[in-house]
Chains A and B, each alone.
Chain A
Amino acid sequence: MRRLAALFLLLAGIGCGFARAAPGGTLRLVTASASGSFDPQINYTNRYWEIFQAMYDGLVSFAKTSGPESFKVVPDLATAIPAPADHGTTYVFHLRPGIEFSNGEPVTVQAVVHSFRRLFRVNSPNAGTWYDVIIGGRRCAAHPRHCSLPGLVGNAAEGTVTFHLRHPDSEFLDQLAVPFASILPADTPEHDMGTTPIPGTGAYMARSYSPASGIVLVRNPHFREWSAAAQPGGFPDRIDYHFGLTAEAQVSAVENGQYDWMFEDVPADRLNEIATRYTRQVHINPVNYFFYLPMNIHIPPFNDKDARLAVEYAVNRASMVKLFGGPALAAPTCQILPPEMPGYRPYCPYTKNPGAKWSAPDWRKARAYMKKSGMTGQPVTIITEVQSPFREIGIYLQSVLNRLGFRASVKPLSPDIEFTYIQNSANKVQISVTDWAQDYAAPSDFLNVLFSCKSFHPASDDSINMTGFCDPAIDREMQKAIVLSVRHPRQGDALWAHVDHQITRRALVASLFSVKKLDFVSARLRNFTFSGEYFFLPQLAMVK
């Protein structure tokens, strides 16, 4: 018996020796469709950010690694992360010398300044919400043609760029690290480049891009690795990203080894199959991402807190988890912040035994609150998305609301319409099913973005605060936390936890579950690396 085991070990060792992964080869990725503009200062989708992070660099960037380290901001085109001066309002970056774009142009102070002005001139989605913290940014957001951005000063002789902010901002570095703040050549046209790839400084460059067929990435000939954490050289020589297969077809193709990785989530009815037959090709990682039900607190019936509490106590979050694929992929939650987020302190008042964790619905309390609210018999329309799991969640919620005594109906809309439809208060949406994922790992990206007065714009398609909640006291507390976190992250996190629990107690949204990301890769793929920020890092995968 023992000898046999030893023999196996020996064989396994030999096997490993032969199959040792090496750089080179072509990594083949697949997804269903294109995802909008290929301009890194415009595109706001995870699908392209995952690619952009290997093509472009900011002054700083998120470390290209796995685990909690992947949320850390490291110096990239800048030599170091500067300590903020002037009470947190001034940042001075020194440019790394000798770096070139993929077209051979050098990275200059001028290119940096141009890139930040371009951000406003091309109407980058968050130009007016993130980058307006730079002095002059508000004017730029309002009049992009005449954007001069006086808060950004370049000194070509010393190779420095200096940012002057309107106020201290603990997330400024995070916002500099995402692809919006990529540094592009100084002669990049000041309009959305659409399908034309823009040269970058990353290890890879786009040889071709077509929304119909896909992306081909090859090594950037002008790239020399300057920081493995910020922009690693990468292993595959070429990355082919093919567009146009349904998720079902993607699963079969990865199983058969025709592709190395699929972007879409594995459809629910294939989970058992891949878990049984391809166990070692499945990777599951936590992400900052949750599903929730925003309730409009300005119109009946959910302008009544008791009605909202009734929903909170009645929703069976374990059932919702089943709709997402089971406890391996999702965990019930009652609060806003997801488990991996700084400032997360487990808290659940809306359960059978209130405490840290959700355990079971409390129908006795739910019925009592329902009765107290006097909303029995009120009509409620649930707006949800037409695809799984949103549709299923909506249908399940309908039966819960009906059981509570509402007269509920459910309206599944196309995902492209739903997200803006539920934001516009003119559409009078009472309750909807939606999700929220982080831009970067900061609590304010959930709490401040989703619940501040600033995020609520009546009768606008862009009003991410869907509940219409606005409490100046909580706003003040969140601002305090943002400033506090610049110098004292730990105290800042404690304050965020407090805000999280306060908002949870207001029962503005019914949080359902936080999710984990499942990646299904080919048998030959080695060194799968999962960044919390960008998810799968294709350049670190080995396929040879």
Chain B
Amino acid sequence: MLSTIIRRLVHMVFVLFGITVLVFLIFFATPGANPAARIAGRGASPATLARVSAEFGLNKPLPVQYALMMKRLFVTGNLTSFVNLGEKVVPQVLHAAPVTLSLVAGAAVIWIAFSVLIGLLAAAFRNTVIDRLLMILTLIGISMPVFWVAEMANLISQGALHRTALFSWVPPLGYIPLSQSPLGWFKALIIPWFTLAILYIGLYARVLRASLIESLQEDYIRTARAKGLSERQVLTRHALRTSLISFVTLFGLDFGVLVGGGALLTEVVFGLQGVGYLTYQALETLDLPMIMATVIYASVFVVLSNAAVDILYALVDPRVRDR
């Protein structure tokens, strides 16, 4: 067990190293990415430009620059932005994290509730009109580009219908901290929550339905039925429980990706300044230190959730442990 965990940790460090090197190389391969002129300001003289380069270590060989950046990011923690000079990137990411967490956690509650409900309904009424209708709906949910749904939600709630009673409660785009106003927080996030959740409701409901129907064929379910349990009890007490493992696995992976900044498009269209938004902004302004910080942040979540899921599996299923 311990060796599994250690192996995972070594693996994780390796993957993170790979990613940072990849980001670093991608950045320096970009023409016009050299930030010296941008830092120096418009119309700076060549001498000023050269000095700025030296001051920020931009004239050093790439491996040295890489090592310095990693040191300032992980050891001293004082890595600063190329764009907003003097702005430390680590606090920036930590500042954005609650926004993303609020968005993703709320959406997760919604998508779990709805997908379990739809999955159960569809399994209970399998091969009927209700099942087919629900499955078409989930498929539509999976097929909609999230940024487009977000745009349409804005069009309706901020545009034409904003003056009507139906949507006059919708605050302007942007995030309202929970500590500042719990109600405002809820109002600002409810539409983004549903927008983000739609895709996952569809995916999870379909996965759950398939797994429920599969487990309904198993022997122990037949036993339960034979004991005289009602179909509803069989479904919720027994079948659901066994289907839960794959459900939880899936959830762990998706949640990890989203908390790390995977909800970028939703954040951008709704103007929520979370980690995804920060990443997008950093990529737009080619702010390498910020890109580094956000990408590493995102990857840590992906790698961690992968590891957690693997370890969970190892705990549940002894066969995996020895692989």
Residues of A within 8 A of B (CB): 33-39, 42, 44, 123-129, 132, 141-142, 144, 192-196, 211-213, 244-246, 248-249, 252-253, 256, 258, 413-414, 416-421, 423-424, 427, 449, 455, 457, 460-462, 464
List B residues 23-78 near A (Cβ within 8 Å). Answer: 30-34, 36-38, 40-49, 51-52, 55
> Residue B80 at the A interface, CB < 8 A?
yes
A10 to chain B, nearest CB (A): 32
Q: Decide: A123 near B51, CB < 8 A? Known: A416-B83, A462-B40.
A: yes
Does B284 count as interface, using CB distance less than 8 angstroms? yes
What residues of chain B lie closer than 8 Å to A418, measured between beta carbons? 32
Q: Knowing A123-B55, A420-B32, A420-B37 are in contact, say whether A464-B87 is a contact too (CB < 8 A).
A: no
Contact indicator B172/A416 (Cβ below 8 Å): no
Indicate which residue in B84, B174, B271, B286 contacts A36 across the interface (CB closer than 8 Å). Answer: B84
**Other CB < 8 Å A-B pairs besides A244-B273, A420-B34, A449-B43, 8 of them?**
A37-B85, A123-B52, A128-B48, A141-B47, A195-B87, A212-B91, A413-B32, A457-B46
Residues A462 and B281 in contact, CB atoms below 8 Å apart: no
Cβ of A384 to closest chain B Cβ, rounded Å: 13
**Which single member of B31, B37, B91, B273 contacts A462 (CB below 8 Å)?**
B37
Q: Chain B 71-101, CB within 8 Å of chain A: the 1/0 string? A: 0000000001101111100011001100000
Query: Contact check: which of A123, A212, A421 meets B95 at CB < 8 Å?
Result: A212
CA distance A195 to B92 in the complex (A): 13
Complex: chain B residue closest to A455, CB-CB: B43
Q: B285 an interface residue at 8 Å Cβ cutoff?
A: yes
Nearest chain B CB to A299 CB, angstrom units: 16
Does B5 belong to the interface (CB within 8 Å)?
no
Q: Which residues of chain B come closer than 8 Å to A35, judged between CB atoms?
A: 84
A314 to chain B, nearest CB (A): 29
Most buried by A among B32, B36, B281, B284: B32
Output the nearest chain A residue to B34 by Cβ-Cβ distance.
A461
Determine if A194 and B31 form an interchain contact, defined as CB atoms under 8 angstroms apart. Answer: no
Contact status of A253 and B46, CB under 8 A, knowing A36-B85, A461-B37 = no
Nearest Cβ on chain A to B90's Cβ, whole angstroms: 12
Q: Are B32 and A125 touching (Cβ within 8 A)?
A: no
Name the residue on B nearest A212 (C-beta): B95
What string of 1s and 0s marks CB contacts (under 8 Å) between B265-285 and chain A? Answer: 000000101000000010011
Chain B's nearest CB lies how many Å from the CB of A540? Answer: 27
Q: How far is the CA of A44 from the CA of B83 in the complex (A)?
A: 12
CA distance A125 to B48 in the complex (A): 7
With contacts A125-B48, A127-B48, A417-B32 taken as known, whether A249 is within 8 angstroms of B87 at the C-beta atoms is no
Residues of chain A within 8 A of B51, CB atoms compared: 123, 144
Sample 16 A-B pairs with CB under 8 A, ordered by A number: A34-B87, A123-B51, A125-B40, A128-B47, A212-B92, A244-B175, A245-B172, A246-B174, A252-B172, A413-B32, A417-B30, A421-B31, A455-B43, A461-B37, A462-B42, A464-B43
Docked CA distance A258–B176 (Å)? 13
> Is A417 a contact partner of B174 (Cβ separation < 8 A)?
no
Contact check, A414 vs B44: say whether CB atoms are below 8 A apart. Answer: no
Bound-complex Cα distance A372 to B7 (A): 72
- Asked if B92 contacts A462 (CB within 8 A), the reply is no
Q: Which of A194, A252, A253, A256 contacts B85 (CB 8 A)?
A: A194
Residue from B34, B43, B52, B96 having most chain A Cβ neighbours under 10 A: B43
- Using an 8 Å CB-CB cutoff, how does the interface string of B181-217 with A read, 1 for contact, 0 for none? 0000000000000000000000000000000000000
Which residues does chain A contribute within 8 Å of B249, judged by CB atoms?
A: none
A125 in contact with B43 (CB, 8 Å): yes
> Would A123 and B32 be within 8 Å (CB), given that A36-B85, A211-B84, A245-B172 are in contact?
no
| CB nearest to B49 among chain A residues | A462
Q: B46–A125 contact, CB under 8 A?
A: no
Contact B46 A246 (CB under 8 A): no
